[in-house]
Amino acid sequence: MSKRLLLILCSILIGLMVLVAGLGAFALVITYPRLPSLEALTDYRPKIPLRIYTSDNVLIGEFGEERRAFTSIEQVPLLMKQAILAAEDERFYKHGGIDYLGVLRAMIGNITSGQSKSGASTITMQVARNFYLSNEKTFTRKFNEALLSFKIEHNLSKDQILELYFNQIYLGQRAYGFASAAQIYYGKELKQLSPAEMAMLAGLPKAPSAYNPVVNPKRAQLRQQYVLRRMHELKFINDSDYATAQNAPLVLKRTQQEYAVHAEYLAEMVRQMMVERYKESTYTEGFKVYTTLRSDSQEAAYQSLRQGLVDYDIRHGYRGPEGFVAPEVLLPGKEELLDEALAEQKDSGDLQPAIVLSASLQSVKAYKKGGELVEINADGLRFARAMLSEKIAPATRIRPGAIVRIKQTEKGWSLAQLPQVEGAFVALDPQNGAIKALAGGFDFNRSSFNHVTQAWRQPGSSFKPFIYSAALERGVTPATQINDAPLVIDPAQVGGQSWEPKNSDGKFEGMMSVRNALTRSRNLVTIRVLQAIGVDYAQAHISRFGFNPKQHPAYLTMALGAGSVTPLQMAEAYAVFANTGYRVRSYFVDRIEDSRGRVLAKTQPEVAGENAQRTLDARNAFVMNSLLHDVATQGTGAKTNILGRSDLAGKTGTTNDANDAWFAGYQPGLVAISWVGFDQPRSLGAKEYGGVAALPIWVNYMSKALKGVDNVGYPVPEGVTPQTIQTERGPYTEYFFSEFLQTNPELGLGGGAGNAQPLDEIKELLF
């Protein structure tokens, strides 16, 4: 090639370079002033979700489009910063927004490989893209990205830019920012992460889906090893730490349980309350709501209710598989079809879906989510063994292709099933109404219907204490003798056809004391008491406990709990007994804070003995506590004795045909209600009384909630006189209102406060 030709070519090249530079300068002059304002960066306000906590600061719920936790750059551990720099932009603190060495290195790498694999986006460029631009691969976007990067570098410090990147970047699993990702993937704070875990998170920005350790653990670990290698090469970690991190196993947060404590029903109550108050800003302003729940108490309620409903289900037998997959799904090498079939089945706590691969009377092999094969033998088959017989119809037999539930126990895997029955449990502090635990059903993901607050059910015999409380006010005492004998009620007294009530055992035992009658839940005695005091009086009296009289028509059927209540209403009502006569309203939010921790609202509860209204004579509450203590220790609630406490009181409840089973119980510091029933009311079974279906749930919860809590008794209030009397069980210290002492225990009709009905009239009705 001649020198003249070479000179011409060089001139052309230089001319082109000048032309490109000129065009670039012209574009810069035209484009730079039109770049967007940096207000979104300088006044950074990320969309932070609503977060809900227990009173002891355990996260139980998060609501928002983006899962994000803002963290200032000063709070980010140094090694976490270094891991990000090693993975994304090692020269971040040296370049001015564009890393020219990085661009050159990427160009050389792409040329030598023959493919366009390497990029040269700096952290600043990623901030520009995430806040202002799209991910489209065009020259215009890259040019604008470069200009924005210059502008950002000119207006913000390096730490400010890194802070924006750290909090804004998407990292998979709906996590935005590294603090949120640390919680979602590992259930840890940033400062608790190991070098291996930091490297895993630092590797996510490049491809959050491809390197997601939950979805693609193998690819994620390859990326993690690359980041660790770069951290070691850059001397961010020493040889020892590098070797340890390289060999660290992948241990993620339990993905099947998003939060450490199951409180989905109460979290939803909080969400609804916040939306009503703050509208759509509920989900973006970073509100923090601290509830009245205690994490240990809440988890005890959740586990106790589920165990009680599963136990009920076991008593009534295995119903069969939930469904069947097509035969081709079971063919060898079709694991992806098995995974697709299981993806349609929701987990329910420890009851996991699985597909049966083989089945016999001795063994069942099944495929569960994640590709794990499990084998169920011996005791694990006992619950459903009958459904393994060849004599069972194919539609209900456990056979290959059956979709079943399995549960891991201490002895291994066992067959299980989702209960059809539902339940509710709520516990509150009777001194101020603070809800300590609430489980609105078996599984929130199966049904969000909150049975604690929304289920209006008949309370059955658990309503009797309120009738007896009214009777104390009218002159009936615990020693009053009343006839447990057959009774036919006129239609006018029950609002319908004639009624011939029975006791649950179908027997009649003649004269007995009010104490004995309530302890043993004798229906006929309660009805006679209500006849004596008058249904209108009783209907007015129950309003002292927070019941709406309209929900409890003034008929004799009120004696057996034929009205409608919710479990939460029952908890508030029994709190009046537990706190010696004060009406407190339940509440579940202690305070609301903004994203900076400033208190926006705080509940000022009504407190018994302080600002709460006294709604019941302290003497009435004391005598009722004495009566209900006997119910809980000697009567239908005697299973509470397993707790070994002397301060428990409560009442079982069973409605007609056992459609509903209840136990309402308490001690001075805690009231708890358990309910069991079907959403579409039907019988729970002939022997499924409150003491069988509901009481074990209550006992299980209280065994945990009262652990370490001292026994507390109720002092005898002024105006109550103890007397030793002869009863069906021998000598007994009975309690009477001082102005209504009765010396004849067989008649035992004391006086009540206020406008009591003449005793002769009461006697005529009672006997």
Active site residues: 88, 461
What does the alpha-carbon distance between residue 297 and residue 302 come to, in Å, rounded to a whole number?
9
How many other C-beta atoms can be found within 10 angstroms of the C-beta atom of residue 527? 23
The answer to whether the CB of 123 falls within 8 A of the CB of 88 is: yes
32 alpha-carbon distance from chain centroid: 52
The answer to whether the CB of 503 falls within 8 A of the CB of 522 is: yes
The answer to whether the CB of 341 falls within 8 A of the CB of 435 is: no
What does the alpha-carbon distance between residue 662 and residue 161 come to, in Å, rounded to a whole number?
59
Q: How far is CA 574 from CA 56, 397, 407, 504, in A?
A: 26, 47, 37, 23
What does the alpha-carbon distance between residue 567 and residue 656 come to, in Å, rounded to a whole number?
18
Going through 42-176 in order, the beta strands assigned E by DSSP cover: 50-53, 59-63, 67-68, 175-176
Residue whose C-alpha is closest to residue 52's, from 38, 64, 43: 64
The answer to whether the CB of 425 falls within 8 A of the CB of 305 is: yes
What does the alpha-carbon distance between residue 646 and residue 578 come to, in Å, rounded to a whole number?
14
What does the alpha-carbon distance between residue 111 and residue 117 come to, in Å, rounded to a whole number?
10
The answer to whether the CB of 67 falls within 8 A of the CB of 174 is: yes
How many helices (H) and strands (E) are present in the chain, helices listed first? 23, 24
Amino acid residing at 346: K
The answer to whether the CB of 478 falls within 8 A of the CB of 627 is: yes
In terms of DSSP H, where are the helices of 156-233?
Answer: 158-168, 178-181, 195-202, 217-233
